[in-house]
Structure formats: structure tokens, C-alpha cells
Structure 1
Amino acid sequence: MTESNDADGDSTPEPDGFRSARFQRSETGGFVGVRTGAATATGQFDDLGLAEVDPVDIPEEDPHAERRRRRRPRAPRVWLQGGTTTLPWGWMLLGWSLVSLGAGVLIATTAGALVGGALGGWIAQIVLWVAMLAPVVYAFSRSVPRGLLRFRWTDLLFGLVLGVALRIASGWLDEAAAGTTAWPALASTDGSLAGVDWLGDVLLPALVAPVVEELFFHAVLLVALYTVFRRLTRSHAIAGVGAALVSTGLFVMLHQLTGSLGATWAAAASVALVGVTGAALVLVTGRLWGAVIAHIVFNASAVLLALVGTLLGVGGGITLA
């Protein structure tokens, strides 16, 4: 017999051959008593309602199992899957973006009509861009949707290929609408490149306008629309189609209200193609830059063709059949 001291200091005899016992969780989740030494007596755990098992029968627990159980769920890879980065991108942001766009169009149109001339055109353009950039700054100051501004080299490839394809499709649409396709040319004071407004007719349409429009329509508006539709329908497909259609419709409407569209249906169709292509790129890749590059290539290719026409002095006189 061996003795052990209890909490009051009294000695309690233990059976011979019994050293100690410990409890361990079994595979079923319950606790079992395990003797670490030989025990001659039986029924040591009868009063506790626990079963005795041999230590060799209990598998060793993986030391990393508890860490894996406590590991937090992984964050979404892109904003399309939701997550905390799109929490502020909902009804409030969508509403303020539309209000800002509407106010910008109204003020720009009024300023252009009151001032008139080149100065009125400049004021109208600046007012419109400020109205479009204000929601962009506000949205990105609150949060950046995960992966939206990430760049991959495939974005450059998509943008170049689709931008050229859109320009070719635009030419086909113009030919279908008018029967012929005239070579474009820029307005020039002396009929040469020296008299071209390089800032207003080249730099701004080719570079600045596409970036501003893509940031508003396919960064802020498209993401906000997608987030709202996804929360309402619980369907990524419906949210994507709805966001693409609404953003493209507003994109075409803006060009119509600002007088950027021509007199034929081909111009509206071309702008709609640019809008829906940019929306599809953002929704498929989760990134913005493919749409930005495609829009830049589309606009810049038109400016380049117009520069060639101005340099050759054709002024729209060459017809391509």
C-alpha cells in the first residue's frame, strides 16, 4: 500500500500497484480514464462513470489539429465574392454616385450654354469630370474592393486585343449605317498638324476621358450595382448581368446627353459595345485595368486615324468601301 495526501493533509492509502490516473479525450469526444501504471485492483473508476482503456489504444492527437480548428475562415479572393471590403459599396454609394452624375450633367450643360464657345466647352468638360471623380474619391477613401485595382499582365493583353477589336467593329457599324466609311480628320486652324488642339483633341480624348469614365462606370458604379443586386437576389449571375446592363445604359445615356454620339445608330451601338465589354472584363477578371486599357486603345486608335487623316490632308475625303 502507498499513501497520498489529500487537500486536508490526511493520508489516504492507495492500492498496491496503482500509481496514478489521467483523463484523455477519446475519438468519440468523451473523456476516458487512463492508468499510467499497473493496477491490481479493479473498479477504480466505477464511481465516476468512466471507462478504463489501455493507453496504447488511444491514438496520438495531431499537435496542429487545434490550430487548424481555430483558424479563421479565409477572406474572399476578389470583391465578387463579397467580404468586408464591399460593405460600404451599397445603396448609399450608388445613390450618391447617380446624384453626382446627374448634377454634373445639368451644371455642365447649363455652363456650356451660358458661356458658349471653346471656354464653355472646357468648363462643361471639367465640371462633368469633377462630378464623376467625386464619387470615386469618396468610395475609395472608405474601402478598396479586394483585387479591383490589382494589375496582371493579362489585363494588358485583354485590353490591347479587345480595344483593337472594338475599333474594327465600330468601323463596320459605321459602314453598315452610312453605306461608306470616311477617313476621319481633326479640326485644324491651318489644315496641318501644327494647327491641331493637341490637348483638347488628342490628349484628353485618348487618355484622360477613358480613365475618368472607367473609374466611375466600371469601378464605382458597376461594383456598387453588383453588390446591391447580389444582396437582393443572392445570385452572382443575375447580379453580374443586371450591373452590366444598367451601367452600360447609363454610359450610353451620358454620351447622348453630352452630345458625344453621332446622328446614326452606329455611334450609339459602338459606345454600347465599349461599355458592355468593359463591364464584362471587370466582372470576369475582378480587375479594372483591362477595361481601362481597352477603352484607351479604342479612343486612341480613333485619334491616331484622325491624325493620319489630318497629316495627309484628306479631311474625311477618303472613302473606304
Structure 2
Amino acid sequence: MTKTPGASPGSSAFPAGRPYASPWLALGIAALGYLGTLLILSGYPGLRARMADAPGWVLAMLDIIVICLPLVVAVLAAGAVASRVGIAVATGIRHWRGLDVLLGLGVGLIVRALVELVAPTVSALGGGFGAPDLAASVVIVVGAVFLSPFIEEWFFRGLVLRAFLDALKDLGRTAAGIIAIFVSTVAFMALHFLPWESGIAVGQLIGTFGIGVGCGILTFVTGRLGGAIVAHVVFNAVGVGLMLW
């Protein structure tokens, strides 16, 4: 039996089988969703400024929807059109293990510790959008701690990284993994640095790079998305907790 160069006997990034019948189609759909988010974000600050009189919780919810909706649509569309096993299995979200929680907890805490060592969190909740009311604070916390990490991991690691692993499988598992982690991390970081002309804080650079690479490695090694989601949730949760301290 011929073995793929760079692959170990019996090794697989996908315990449940290859996720995408058409991985390049899945990546094309992911690119459209990503570009859609970038386009929306480019014009969003002006729209938000014109809605300054809206309730704080409405604006906070709109912030989440603007960033997450195109990514969710892309994941669902790729799963429906390009997957051979269904969305949950294709993105690695169906299969969880207790080890995923432990690994994710460790990665999330390590990355957060690195950020705090270099650039301690001192910002008030709400950031540049002003002090939110109670309802807005609840929406911000739920969005930052649960919704955004889940959706971002579902897209960047569940769709983009796993589709790249599938598309580049002929290169061997290691080479495909390096490329997939690199591309998904760069895309993840670029989205968080918008607007690009405003500059990049050191803490933000370390945090997005650490979570991108850490969650990418977790997804690649385990073949599951659980560890990446836990790591991202823990990282954000500790950050929000420090803002509220």
C-alpha cells in the first residue's frame, strides 16, 4: 500500500473521515464569507455612528452580528454544498473528549498569561465604544466569552483549517498542517486588526497570534474542534474578567 509522503501509518487529522468532498469549493465559500465580513466592517463604523441614539444593548448585539453572520453563513454553506459528512462532522465539532477541555484550558491560560506579562489588561468594559449600560454589558460579555470564540473557531479552524488539510493532503500531513495553521492564523489575525490604519497593540498581536497558532495546533493534532473552542473561550473569559476587576 502506498503511503502519502510525510504521513505516519494510521495517522489522520480527521478521526471521522475526510470532511469535504470538494475542499477547494469549501475554501472558496470561506473566502467569500471572509471578504463579506471585511467589506461590512469597512463601512460599519460610519453606520454605527449614525445609530448612536439606539439602546446600548442593540448596538452591542449589532457589533456581534456584523462580525459573525457572514462567517456563520459561510460555514453552513460549505457544509451543505462541499461536505460529504455533514456540517458537525466536517468542522470537527461533533466529537468531543475530556482531554479537549484540559488541553484547551491549558492553551487559553498560557496565551492569556503571555499577553498579561507583556501588556496587562487595564481597559474598561466597552472599550472605545464608551461605558455600556447593564444590558449592553451582558450582551458584550456573552458575545465576547461565548458567541465570538465559538463562531470564530467554527470558521477559522473548523472550516478554513480543516478544508486546507483536506485540500493539501497530497503534500503529506505535516506540510498540510503547517500551511493550514499559517493561513488560518493570518486570516484570523487580519480580521482582528481592523481598521488596519489604527495601528496594532502588542498585546493584541500576541493574543491573536497565540490563539491562532494554539487553536490551530489543537485542531490539527486532535482532529477535533473542542480544544480550540475551550482555549478561545478561556482566553476571552479571563480577559473580560480582568476588565471587570
Shorter-chain TM-score tier: 0.7 to 0.9
CA distance 1:160–1:126, change in 2 (3 Å): same
Please tell me the residue identity of whatever aligns with 1:274: I
Q: Does 1:204 align with 2:149?
A: no
CA distance in 2, matches of 1:110, 1:147: 30
CA distance in 2, matches of 1:197, 1:262: 27
Out of 75, 84, 99, the position equivalent to 1:154 is 99
CA distance 1:207–1:85, change in 2 (3 Å): closer
CA distance 1:295–1:93, change in 2 (3 Å): same
- Corresponding residue for residue 59 of structure 1: none
Structure 2 unpaired stretches of 5+ = 1-9
CA distance 1:201–1:151, change in 2 (3 Å): same
- Corresponding residue for residue 306 of structure 1: 243
Aligned length: 221
CA distance 1:82–1:236, change in 2 (3 Å): farther
Question: What SS does the aligned partner of 1:257 have?
Answer: coil
Q: Could you tell me whether the CA contact under 8 Å between 1:78 and 1:147 is conserved in 2?
A: no
Q: Does 1:166 align with 2:100?
A: no
- Corresponding residue for residue 166 of structure 2: 227
Please tell me the residue identity of whatever aligns with 1:293: V
CA distance 1:268–1:182, change in 2 (3 Å): closer
- Corresponding residue for residue 87 of structure 1: 21
CA distance in 2, matches of 1:124, 1:258: 14
CA distance in 1, matches of 2:192, 2:91: 29
Out of 287, 290, 296, the position equivalent to 2:224 is 287
Please tell me the residue identity of whatever aligns with 1:169: L
CA distance 1:84–1:160, change in 2 (3 Å): closer
* Superposed CA offset, 1:77-101 (max 9, x none): 855479554323x111101111121
Spell out the pairing of 1:21-170 with structure 2 (5 A cutoff).
79-80=13-14, 83=17, 85-88=19-22, 90-116=23-49, 117=51, 122-141=61-80, 142=83, 143-144=85-86, 145=89, 148=92, 149-170=94-115
* Superposed CA offset, 1:139-169 (max 9, x none): 3334344792301001111111221111111
Q: Could you tell me whether the CA contact under 8 Å between 1:218 and 1:247 is conserved in 2?
A: yes
For structure 1, which segment, 221-230 or 275-284, has the greater mean C-alpha deviation from structure 2 after superposition? Answer: 221-230
Q: Could you tell me whether the CA contact under 8 Å between 1:79 and 1:146 is conserved in 2?
A: no
Q: Which has the higher helix share?
A: 2
Q: Does 1:247 align with 2:192?
A: no
How far is 1:197 from its partner? 2.8
Q: Select the structure with the greater relative contact order (CA < 8 A; seq sep ≥ 6).
A: 2
CA distance in 2, matches of 1:193, 1:92: 41
- Corresponding residue for residue 178 of structure 1: none
Structure 1 unpaired stretches of 5+ = 1-75, 175-180, 309-321
Please tell me the residue identity of whatever aligns with 2:108: G
* Superposed CA offset, 1:269-293 (max 9, x none): 2211101000000000111010000
* Superposed CA offset, 1:200-239 (max 9, x none): 43111111110010000010010111112223x2x11100
Q: Does 1:274 align with 2:211?
A: yes
CA distance 1:238–1:306, change in 2 (3 Å): same
Q: Which has the higher strand share?
A: 1
CA distance in 2, matches of 1:219, 1:251: 13
Larger Rg: 1
Question: What SS does the aligned partner of 2:168 have?
Answer: helix
What TM-score, normalized to structure 2? 0.78
Q: Could you tell me whether the CA contact under 8 Å between 1:112 and 1:123 is conserved in 2?
A: no
Identical counterparts, % of pairs? 27
Question: What SS does the aligned partner of 2:96 have?
Answer: coil
Please tell me the residue identity of whatever aligns with 2:37: G
How far is 1:265 from its partner? 2.8
